[in-house]
A and B are shown apart, each in its own frame.
Chain A
Amino acid sequence: MTRGGGAEQLVVPKARPDSYYGQPVIKVPIWGSPEVPGYLFLGGLAGASSLLAAFSQATGNRELARASKTGAAAAIGLSLGALVADLGRPLRFLNMLRVFKVTSPMSVGSWLLSAYGPAAAVAAGCALSGKLPRTGAAATATAATLGAGVATYTAALLTDTAIPAWHDAHRELPFVFAGSAASAAGGLGMLAVGQPAASQAIRFAVLGSAAELTAKRMLLRRLGDGARAYESGRPGTMMQAAEILTAAGLTGAVLAGRNRAAAAASGAALLAGSALTRFGVFFAGKVSACDPSYTVGPQRRRIQQG
């Protein structure tokens, strides 16, 4: 290396450092596991179960409706506990209801849950006790309406962040989560009741798991290089296992749904697949936040492309 205006050409240009000592540019999400990914799964299960319960009840399938309502109430009860436990200051959980902000999916979700939770609990209580049928019907309808939101808003919760693997998934993730929720709710119905009550659950599970598998494929194809976070390491293993379980559950539901044991096994596979999808998505976000290349790479390309 000589001084004097850079007349000398270097044979091998030195690589430009593209990070500060490899440190993350953004903070890694501090949300805990299993609380938050567990909630993503249970909230989806609860919301979709409430929808299944309302429509199965409307068609006279009381057995499936009762099982789905019970499942929804239990899942949302666990969810609320997990969400409060994940706060840095759990005693202040009611501060979530100080304001309503559409710019904060967590604010929208808090209001949704505070209306949905009691409705799901009352619907289950009335179905199990057989008392207050009119109250039960109103609660069932309310839980179903809000349940559609509870099962899907969590996609906005994750994607409205600076975490590359989450934010960049914002087009497809709502559909992945909706499919995953239906797959889980159908799977729970297949586990809980036999034929003929289970046939509605099987159809819901088939629609949901097919949607989940399709939406995930579309997401990974569009992400291109950013799909690394979903395809490698621990999240990659989870997503692959989820794919296998969901595909197996879907196949079982289509081919062997009439057999009680096969239907139950398929339902369990669908529940496990749905849960693993949520854990995989959650940890892909953490992986993409730890590595500065996920943040810097796409932004640098955006600058270069003008």
Chain B
Amino acid sequence: MSTGPGEAAIGLDPAAAAGYDSHPPRMGFFTDTSVCIGCKACEVACKEWNAVPEDGLLLTGMSYDNTASLNASTWRHVAFIEQIGPRPDDARADGPAPAPPADGAAAHEAAGGPRWLMSSDVCKHCTEAACLDVCPTGALMRTEFGTVVVQDDICNGCGYCVSACPFGVIARRESDGGAHKCTLCYDRIGDGLTPACAKACPTESIQFGEVDELRERAQRRVSELHERGESRARLYLEDPNDGIGGAGAFFLLLDEPEVYGFPPDPVVTTRDLPRMWRHVGAAAVGLAASAALACLGWRRGQS
């Protein structure tokens, strides 16, 4: 089971690229943060269904966020961003001219009033997944649904995936030494059920479905928001031509990705791996040549 460097040209069907002859459609999440109310039902449902252990009970001081980030024992993480005071208008230049605000809240925000952004983060289930590429044991695998899961009985806790993930999703759990992350509820979707977080979401901020269909839905939603005057709405990771080949779990955001703690333009590290190996090869040849050069012409008694 060896995969080609970078998995560059696998397009939208990662399951087929991983060797599934016939497989169900690619499944994923569309997280529409514009309707997230920060209830954290997703965090709780995920913990309960997947029996994910407690991850520290702490008060971070980061608004209502007390899980801080995705982690080995936090597979859904709700971010809270309090924006108080005016914000630069540069993002507005990209979209259509704002329509007259329809209601008080929109008018308030359009005028730069405070707003409270909430967003439920999750593993992106990348089309080109760095964690999967670098895993030396084959513990990380691509499922027939095009998602990426860790096989816990194989993972030896080497930690390579942790450094490879461009989103800081996967992590090693101290209590058992293994790497853990969202499975997109592999056990549920195989039985035709909706993943726990999407099932529990009361506002349909987290939508589960076939990735192709979710992309269309996301495009409709972002157009609708632009028409309503929310020109800062944008889709994140839905583009199959981006640096990770598009994500299986993508987002509608109301500000720049880095505001939510996302990298603005992530690129899977293995795209550069062919060049890395070429340079390593050249360095190895140079090292051997130096050893030969250092030893040439030596005779006993000479110094």
B-chain residues with CB within 8 Å of residue A161 when the two chains form the complex: 130, 134, 160, 163-164, 269
Nearest 7 A/B pairs, CB to CB: A88-B157, A88-B177, A20-B261, A92-B156, A174-B283, A55-B295, A204-B294
Contact B279 A170 (CB under 8 A): yes
Chain A's interface size range is 35 or more
CB proximity to A under 8 Å, residues B219-272: 256, 258-266, 269-270, 272
A41 CB–B CB distance under 8 Å: no
Known: A61-B298, A96-B137, A110-B136. A162 touches B165 (CB 8 A): yes
For the complex, give the distance between the alpha carbons of A163 and B168 in Å: 10
Question: Is the Cβ of B295 less than 8 Å from the Cβ of A56?
Answer: yes
The answer to whether A21 touches B62 (Cβ under 8 A) is yes
Does B85 contact A162, Cβ atoms closer than 8 Å? no
Q: Complex formed: what's the CA distance from A178 to B264 in Å?
A: 34
Partner of B270, one of A52, A86, A160: A160
8 Å CB contact of B286 from A3, A52, A211, A285: A211
What number of A-B contacts does a CB cutoff of 8 Å give? 313
Least CB separation from A29: chain B residue: B163
| Interface status of B178 (Cβ within 8 A of chain A) | yes
Residue numbers in B under 8 Å from A99 (CB-CB): 1-2, 136-138
Q: How far is the CB of B19 from chain A (nearest CB, A)?
A: 13
The reply to whether B3 and A101 contact each other, CB–CB distance below 8 Å, is: yes
Does residue A130 face the partner (Cβ distance < 8 Å to B)?
A: no
Bound-complex Cα distance A47 to B158 (A):
22
- Kindly identify, within residues 150 to 190 of chain A, every residue whose CB is under 8 Å from any CB belonging to chain B: 151-153, 155-156, 159-163, 166-167, 170-171, 173-175, 177-178, 181-182, 186
With a cutoff of 8 Å between Cβ atoms, the chain A residues found around residue B301 in the complex are 196
Choose among B160, B284, B298 the residue that contacts A199 (Cβ–Cβ < 8 A).
Answer: B298
Is A89 a contact of B111 with CB atoms below 8 Å? Answer: no
Contact B270 A6, beta carbon cutoff 8 Å:
no
Q: Is the CB of A30 within 8 A of B172?
A: yes
Within residues 270 to 291 of chain A, which ones have a CB less than 8 A from any CB in chain B?
A: 285, 289
Q: Does chain A have a CB within 8 A of B209?
A: no
Cβ contacts under 8 Å, B217 to chain A = none
A52 touches B279 (CB 8 A): no
Q: How far is the CA of A208 from the CA of B81 in the complex (A)?
A: 51
- Chain B residues 141-172 with CB under 8 Å of chain A are 154-160, 162-172
Which chain B residue lies CB-closest to A198?
B303
Question: Interface stretch among A9-17, A74-82, A235-243?
Answer: A9-17
0/1 per residue, A25-68, Cβ < 8 Å to B? 11101110000000000000001100110111011110000000
Write 28 A-B pairs (CB below 8 A) sorted by A numbering. Answer: A2-B111, A16-B87, A23-B68, A23-B261, A27-B168, A56-B298, A59-B295, A60-B298, A87-B157, A88-B155, A89-B156, A92-B155, A95-B137, A99-B138, A102-B2, A103-B2, A103-B6, A103-B7, A106-B136, A149-B284, A155-B283, A160-B270, A162-B164, A162-B269, A174-B283, A196-B301, A203-B293, A204-B294
A245 to B167, CA, bound (A): 38
Contact between chains at B294 and A101 (CB < 8 Å)? no
Q: Which residue of chain B lies nearest to A91 when distances are taken between CB atoms in the complex?
A: B156
Closest CB in chain B relative to A151 CB, distance in Å: 6
Q: Which residues of B contact A (CB under 8 A)?
A: 1-7, 60, 62, 65, 68-69, 79, 81, 83, 85-89, 107-108, 110-113, 130, 133-139, 154-160, 162-172, 176-179, 256, 258-266, 269-270, 272-273, 275-277, 279-280, 282-288, 290-296, 298-303
- Give the nearest-CB partner of A49 in chain B: B291
Evaluate contact between A155 and B158: CB separation under 8 angstroms. no
Contact assessment for B86 and A170 in the assembled complex, using a CB-CB cutoff below 8 Å: no
Q: Are B3 and A181 in contact (CB under 8 A)?
A: no
Considering the complex, give the chain B residue whose CB is closest to the CB of A163.
B163
A19 at the B interface (CB under 8 A): yes
